[in-house]
């Protein structure tokens, strides 16, 4: 299941469009889409804009929503898509339309078509696009009524099997979608929810008549709505109502993605932070019930004639198979494994609570709120900065004794979710806090049964943290590039300033702002913040939450140290050493913190929910 934004390419404030696209990535959404009206003098050119967005982001998928085929010759469009897909490492999909404003199209030199001829031209265009992408298909020879491509050599092939998602509403366009397209991309102002079942049936019938599996056609929905305290209709109400209405469309109408229309940053934040995770949880819970199997996701390109380039890598940013994300593993393949990999039950480390730890109700006296100063590790005398050292405060024995190990096993058995273990290795000779003073929350009930919805909530925290671990790995790679002269320190500073862990507020009551990969930023309404909710629901968690909030502030201080070290790298003789030490300290602090938070909150979040 994917979630994205639908932005207006307003020429009067071009940088704002870029900022909104970057925000789309920062808050954890999956794709950014841009409407395409080349005849509109007040708009930026969509394809140029998408190229800049792809260059200014690193993870998110980009797509026109939808490309105006009459003004973008299909052979040229095919090569533009393939080129950007290669340059962005597989982060492009193709929303495609027949072009609805025929007079405006003709005014800028395009063909003057009517509705019937526009659909015919779109069918020819799709065949040409696929033929250009098929580098093994031989010379392209298509002699159509609207397009003649005769003797063109195919290529380049895109980095992955780019999906063609058609914006369709009427009978002939829906039939074309069923026969030829990889996806269907309607918009709620033109296709309200009550009209979707009939449209879906038309696509299914056309697919079956063409010998295709209707399930192979991805269904995505551009949605317009308004957040409000009371519900008044489709997507006109509180975030929970949005989530319930969209989850129903997933379950009943097989939609696998939703793209919110509009340019309001706060709507993007709430859509990513409150709506998307709740939809995933509701769908996961429903599919876990008997009689509701989770269908296997369709590949991104399954239509007749879709090429698969031999040897082409499936890019990490591709949306192929993304529908299975709601039921994904507790840890992602991209998470760093050298320092804090996900381990099975029984793993232990500094996050484990031994005899030296304070119990439930203790204060986190070992860490001053807001402090970013570090204290020397007990092991610092035997290890220099940058060398792995044993984690101070790790007291669980190798035989499995110790409160921390026992706690992880209980959580894993009850939930089917294993908190990511701290491997105990430290790169720095310093510590940001004293790990032995971390309080421990109430022990989970080993006999408690958890519903699918509750298990999804517990797993969600691990998924969120995996995004932060991946960003940390990217930052360490940047530091390595800077210190070895492979990139400019200014470029590294700009990247770090845009990182999710830096953009978010690490202060009281903003848990979801601090960890935004799947559950993400800006819970602006205080009573919906996760920490206040957990405090109120189970007061025994208060000491743990107090400590976690203090560690958030301290980690932000360490990020500031990394930023200062990048400046020192340029101007000081010891800049290389300072930069590596700062990166090592951040790695130790963040990975230790994430492991501790998972150990303490996976079970309470499953039991009590996020809000």
pLDDT tens sequence across 515-534: 223 223 322 222 345 788 88
Tokens, residue 121? 């031209």
Asked if 166 and 154 count as a contact pair (C-beta separation under 8 A), the reply is no
Q: Which residue has the higher pLDDT, 585 or 305?
A: 585
Q: How confident is the model at residue 449 (pLDDT cuts 50, 70, 90)?
A: confident
> Residue 209: is its pLDDT beyond 90?
yes
Q: Which of 10-19, 402-411, 451-460, 566-575 has the lowest mean pLDDT?
A: 402-411
Sheet holding 67-68, edge to edge: 61-64, 31-34, 2-7, 257-261, 218-223, 183-184, 164-166, 94-97, 67-68
CA torsion sign, 35 to 38 to 44 to 46? positive
Yes or no: say if 562 and 588 are a contact pair by the CB < 8 Å rule: no
Using DSSP's 3-state secondary structure scheme, residue 605 falls into helix
pLDDT for residue 386 is more than 60 = no
* DSSP per residue, 302-351: -STT----TT----TT--TTGGGGGG--SS-TTS--TTT----TT---TT
- Enter the DSSP assignment of 83: H
pLDDT at 388 over 70: no
Residue-wise pLDDT tens digits, 311-348: 333 333 345 433 433 333 333 333 333 443 333 333 33
Q: pLDDT band for position 267 (50/70/90)?
A: very high
CA geometry: angle 409, 389, 443, nearest 5 deg:
20
- The CATH number fitting domain 375-608, selected from 1.10.10, 1.10.286, 1.25.40, 1.20.120: 1.20.120
What local confidence, expressed as pLDDT, does residue 116 receive? 95
Report the alpha-carbon distance of residue 9 to residue 501 in Å, rounded. Answer: 28
Strands 148-152 and 67-68 come out as unpaired
* pLDDT value, residue 313: 34
**CATH class entry, domain 2-306:** alpha beta
Give the lowest-confidence range in 36-50, 185-199, 450-464: 450-464
Does pLDDT of 19 surpass 70? yes
Residue 408 has pLDDT above 90, yes or no: no
Q: Which residue has the higher pLDDT, 257 or 336?
A: 257
Distance (Å, whole) CA 29 – CA 18: 15
- Could you tell me the two tokens for 531? 């920490």
Distance of CA 280 to the CA centre of its chain: 13
If you search the block for the tokens 């909030």, which residue do you land on? 549
Q: Give the whole-angstrom CA distance, residue 183 versus residue 389.
A: 52
Note the pLDDT tens digit of each residue in 133-156: 999 999 999 999 999 999 999 999
Per-residue pLDDT tens digits for 66-117 = 999 999 999 999 999 999 999 999 999 999 999 988 999 999 999 999 999 9
Q: How many residues does the chain have?
A: 611
What is the predicted pLDDT for the residue at 247? 95
Residue 182 has pLDDT above 50, yes or no: yes
In the chain, the percentage of residues whose pLDDT exceeds 70 is 70
DSSP letter at 234 equals: T
Instruction: Determine if residue 235 is left, alpha or beta; phi over 0 gives left, psi from -120 to 50 gives alpha, anything else beta.
Output: left
Domain locations along the chain: 2-306, 375-608
What per-residue confidence (pLDDT) applies to 488? 63
Q: What is the per-residue pLDDT for 502?
A: 45
DSSP for 372-422 reads ---EE-TTGGGS-TTS-EEPTT----TTS-SHHHHHHHHHHHHHS--PPPP
Highest mean pLDDT among 12-26, 324-338, 550-564: 12-26
Percent of the chain with pLDDT strictly greater than 90: 50
């Amino acid at each position: 299941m994917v979630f994205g934004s639908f932005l207006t390419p307003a020429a009067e404030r071009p940088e704002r469009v870029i900022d909104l696209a970057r925000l789309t990535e920062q808050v954890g959404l999956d794709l950014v889409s841009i409407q395409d009206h080349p005849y509109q003098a007040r708009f930026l050119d969509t394809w140029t804009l998408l190229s800049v967005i792809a260059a200014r982001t690193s993870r998110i998928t980009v797509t026109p929503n939808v490309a105006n085929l009459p003004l973008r010759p299909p052979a040229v469009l095919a090569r533009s898509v393939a080129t950007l897909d290669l340059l962005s490492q597989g982060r492009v999909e193709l929303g495609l339309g027949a072009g609805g404003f025929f007079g405006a199209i003709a005014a800028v030199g395009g063909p003057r078509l009517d509705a019937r001829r526009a659909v015919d031209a779109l069918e020819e265009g799709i065949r040409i696009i696929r033929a250009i992408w098929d580098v093994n298909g031989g010379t392209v020879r298509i002699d159509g009524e609207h397009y003649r491509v005769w003797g063109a050599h195919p290529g380049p092939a895109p980095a992955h099997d780019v999906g063609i998602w058609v914006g369709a509403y009427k009978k002939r366009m829906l039939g074309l979608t069923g026969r030829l397209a990889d996806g269907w991309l309607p918009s709620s102002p033109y296709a309200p929810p009550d009209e979707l079942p009939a449209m879906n049936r038309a696509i299914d019938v056309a697919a079956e008549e063409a010998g295709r599996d209707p399930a192979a056609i991805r269904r995505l929905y551009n949605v317009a709505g308004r957040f409000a305290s009371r519900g008044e209709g489709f997507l006109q109400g509180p975030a929970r109502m949005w989530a319930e209405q969209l989850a129903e469309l997933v379950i009943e109408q097989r939609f696998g993605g939703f793209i919110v229309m509009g340019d309001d940053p706060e709507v993007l934040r709430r859509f990513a932070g409150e709506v998307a995770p709740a939809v995933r949880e509701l769908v996961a819970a429903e599919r876990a019930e008997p009689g509701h199997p989770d269908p296997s996701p369709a590949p991104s390109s399954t239509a007749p004639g879709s090429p698969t380039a031999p040897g082409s890598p499936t890019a990490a940013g591709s949306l192929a198979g993304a529908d299975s994300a709601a039921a994904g593993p507790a840890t992602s393949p991209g998470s760093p494994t050298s320092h804090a990999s996900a381990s099975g039950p029984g793993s232990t480390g500094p996050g484990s609570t031994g005899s030296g730890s304070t119990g439930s109700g203790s204060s986190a006296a070992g860490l001053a709120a807001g402090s970013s100063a570090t204290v020397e590790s007990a092991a610092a005398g035997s290890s220099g900065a940058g060398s792995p050292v044993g984690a101070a405060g790790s007291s669980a024995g190798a035989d499995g004794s110790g409160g921390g190990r026992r706690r992880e096993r209980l959580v894993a058995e009850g939930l089917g979710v294993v908190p990511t273990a701290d491997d105990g290795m430290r790169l720095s000779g310093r510590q940001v806090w004293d790990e032995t003073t971390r309080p421990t929350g109430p022990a989970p009930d080993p006999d408690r049964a958890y519903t699918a919805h509750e298990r999804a909530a517990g797993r969600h925290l691990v998924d969120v943290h995996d995004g932060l671990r991946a960003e940390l790995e990217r930052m360490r790679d940047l530091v390595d590039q800077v210190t070895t002269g492979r990139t400019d320190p200014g470029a590294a500073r700009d990247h770090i300033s845009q990182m999710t862990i830096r953009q978010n507020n690490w202060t009281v009551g903003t848990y979801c702002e601090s960890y935004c990969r799947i559950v993400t930023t800006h819970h602006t309404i205080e009573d919906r913040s996760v920490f206040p909710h957990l405090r109120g629901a189970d007061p025994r968690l208060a000491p743990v939450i107090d400590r976690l909030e203090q560690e958030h502030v301290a980690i932000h201080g360490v990020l500031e140290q990394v930023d200062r070290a990048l400046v020192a790298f340029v101007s000081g003789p010891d800049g290389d050493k300072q930069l590596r030490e700062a990166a090592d300290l951040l790695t130790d602090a963040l990975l230790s913190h994430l492991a501790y938070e998972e150990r303490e909150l996976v079970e309470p979040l499953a039991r009590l929910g996020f809000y």
